[in-house]
Amino acid sequence: MRISTKGKYGLAAMVYLGEKESSPEPVTVATISGELNISKIYLEQIFSLLKKQNLVSSVKGSQGGYFLADKADKITVLMILQGIETGLFEKTEAFLSEDYSHIGKALDQLVWENLDKAVLKTLEETTLKDLIENSRKNLKSSASMFYI
């Protein structure tokens, strides 16, 4: 499985948005773009995909922006990536000749399928809330470090 830049940026933007979940004001793409140093145009494409998947809601107008469409503990990493990535779990194409297809099948059955299941399980079990909490924990631990 390969996560594109779009998927990585989408996850980061959702964590940022989730960190602002308690704010009554929607968060603008320009704000996220500036804070995370991601192209505004690229983020608009990502949020368009997230909105189609009902993961974010938007408010139009000069005071508009985005907010989570559901609680962070109800949104999984899998839901976010599936909303952004088109071929998240594409099957591995046969790469060996017909004479050695038995080796390819063994790899499929014992490696690629098991790896896909493990990754899928992790993505299903990890919520946006988990990412937000871990992000905040990392922020606190890095803020308390000092160097001489």
What is the rounded average pLDDT of the residues 70-76?
96
Percent of the chain with pLDDT over 70: 93
61 in any annotated domain: yes
pLDDT confidence bin for 35, thresholds 50/70/90: very high
pLDDT at 62: 82
Structural domain total, the chain? 1
Nearest to 54 by CA among 30, 74, 31: 74
Exposure string (b/e) for 102-133, b if CB count within 10 Å is 16 or more?
Answer: eebeeebeeeeeeebeeeeeebeeebbbebbe
136 in any annotated domain: yes
pLDDT confidence bin for 146, thresholds 50/70/90: low
130 in any annotated domain: yes
CATH label of the domain that carries residue 122: 1.10.10.10
Residue 144 has pLDDT above 60, yes or no: no
* pLDDT tens digits, 108-122: 889 888 988 999 999
* pLDDT tens digits, 49-68: 999 999 999 999 888 899 99
17 in any annotated domain: yes
Residue range(s) defining the domain that contains residue 9: 5-143
148 in any annotated domain: no
Report d(CA 88, CA 32) in Å as an integer.
25
